[in-house]
Structure 1
């Protein structure tokens, strides 16, 4: 087995008071290693600390997670340059729960599924090479029999730095994660994506005695106009 996993039910207890976690939280991850388990172990040990120590945390959690994945990947590359025996790779999925919000981030083909009232909701998608063909080919990579550069079955992972063509800054294998937030923010994001020209308000009603924690805005949306020609 080249896989690793992490289960943190209480972030404050796990990280200690110096982490300044202002709300209850949990963290879970699966790390699917390949070519030995060094990468999986490294990411398991380092990723969470990079998330909570990022300047964007906890105000802009999605941004902090994005930064942390890339910083962990760079740190692993540096470790491999000092010790070539570490060279390996891993796909990763993490679930960060802060109060009533869930943040799922993944690179590769590990999967997260949310069970809501008995129904399964996909919280991640596989990063298969054919889905990202244009990006891969633009960076000099290729897909052979469904495999990236004829070797990996995924388009995103913490890197196999020992494989020719899959190392360096501008290579076709990336560690940039997709992050999904299970929350009413998705409605606002979708309206902005469609260039809504009106005010945007989403109200979430909680039918429990304990109210949800106060939420802070992640960004200020710029006003954009959408015009349609009527025929």
Structure 2
């Protein structure tokens, strides 16, 4: 964990300015959370090629824990609905129900919203900084292989509009204290165990709706 903490702080400056994948945290109290990082973890879940660090979800507000809820929205079953203001993601189910997850989102002015589809899916995906990130921070790591140190976490869903990559992702995070917070960049981040669960439930082609406000619970 110590090596990852150092790497996360190195990445922080370049990532906090841009509405791109692999966003980093500016959550209130986040540095305190970093100093006590190990306290967030209670074990691991077997996975390949890396085990998934499991989070003590009792540290989260109950509304950000994975749960089944009533769903009153018009979206068809199988749709992913992200409510930026509530910091919640819902996977719509049959019979007026949804599986709800807590998420971290972009800060005001950086959050992407709109309709997209999952064009591809990644397992322990690699991360590479954009040319803009490199120009802002020439010392930034030029690539980051998939793993527990990677800002994209255990899984990533890549959001496209038609054939155009939006550059926004739904992905895991190695900063569990950031769930429920408005983050510095626009990607939607989830606990690693939650993105693994969502990844297994949705196919390529899944419709994704990212919106501000609006009730979706009855």
The structure with the greater share of residues assigned to strand is: 2
TM bucket by the smaller chain? Answer: under 0.3
The structure with the greater share of residues assigned to helix is: 1
> TM-score of the superposition, structure 2-length normalised?
0.27
- Bigger RCO of structures 1 and 2 (CA < 8 A, at least 6 apart): 2
> TM-score of the superposition, structure 1-length normalised?
0.26
Which has the greater radius of gyration?
1
